[in-house]
Amino acid sequence: EADIYQTPRYLVIGTGKKITLECSQTMGHDKMYWYQQDPGMELHLIHYSYGVNSTEKGDLSSESTVSRIRTEHFPLTLESARPSHTSQYLCASSRGSEAFFGQGTRLTVV
Amino acid sequence: AQSVTQPDIHITVSEGASLELRCNYSYGATPYLFWYVQSPGQGLQLLLKYFSGDTLVQGIKGFEAEFKRSQSSFNLRKPSVHWSDAAEYFCAVGMNNAGNMLTFGGGTRLMVKP
């Protein structure tokens, strides 16, 4: 069973607030990813990291930022949340060719 | 660039009936192929994967998928669907040298009638 955790599971927040979505994995994986998924839609890669101090933007442009100071931790931050950021955010990690996903954070910006 | 197409957005089958979910991919070389299942409010769980070798792969929960290079397809099958199989299913393709980044299809929502 995969050990990758996302908090919070659900978040409702007002426009303009700064938020950080947490993602942690205990598997020692070097590679970590953030995907954005609108309801009923496909997943889009927004950020990825190959290891500590490595971060790259994904296929889908996002106003969020990420950091990778520790192997196990890959938080995503929105400096000023907007209703257009309402979505589900899925974190994943991998070593080799299989990715393991967290349960996701469903973000609603009102 | 790689892409994945799942032609069926919704599928409804009766419990006990067989199931086939379609997936077509576009990629210049042999891809890594995956099927994931997502239950409501949950993350993605890997059902099965294909990297090389036998083109018919077995997964968890009684699912299997067949890689057909000539058709650029990787369809998911199950001989007898259970009500608990109702979920969203995603096909994904990854390049074998791309750091495991996956490109997902749009998903197929499976509904199971009693």
Per-residue pLDDT tens for A60-70? 888 999 999 99
Helix (H) or strand (E) holding B73: strand B73-78
pLDDT, one tens digit per residue, over B21-78 is 999 998 777 788 999 999 887 788 999 999 888 899 999 999 999 999 999 999 999 9
pLDDT, one tens digit per residue, over B87-108 is 999 999 886 555 567 888 999 9
**pLDDT grade, residue A82 (50/70/90)?**
very high
Cβ-based contacts of A103 with chain B (< 8 Å): 41-43
Choose among A40, A33, A70: nearest CA to B88: A40
Give me the residues of B, 14-73, that contact A with CB < 8 A: 32, 34, 36, 41-46, 49, 51
E-assigned strands of A16-75? 19-25, 31-37, 43-51, 54-57, 65-66
**B90, A43: Cβ pair inside 8 Å?**
yes
> Distance (Å, rounded) from C-alpha B6 to C-alpha B91?
7
> Distance (Å, rounded) from C-alpha A4 to C-alpha B59?
21
The upper half-sphere exposure of residue B49, i.e. CA atoms within 13 Å in the direction of its Cβ, equals 16
> Distance (Å, rounded) from C-alpha A46 to C-alpha A64?
8
**A97, B94: Cβ pair inside 8 Å?**
yes
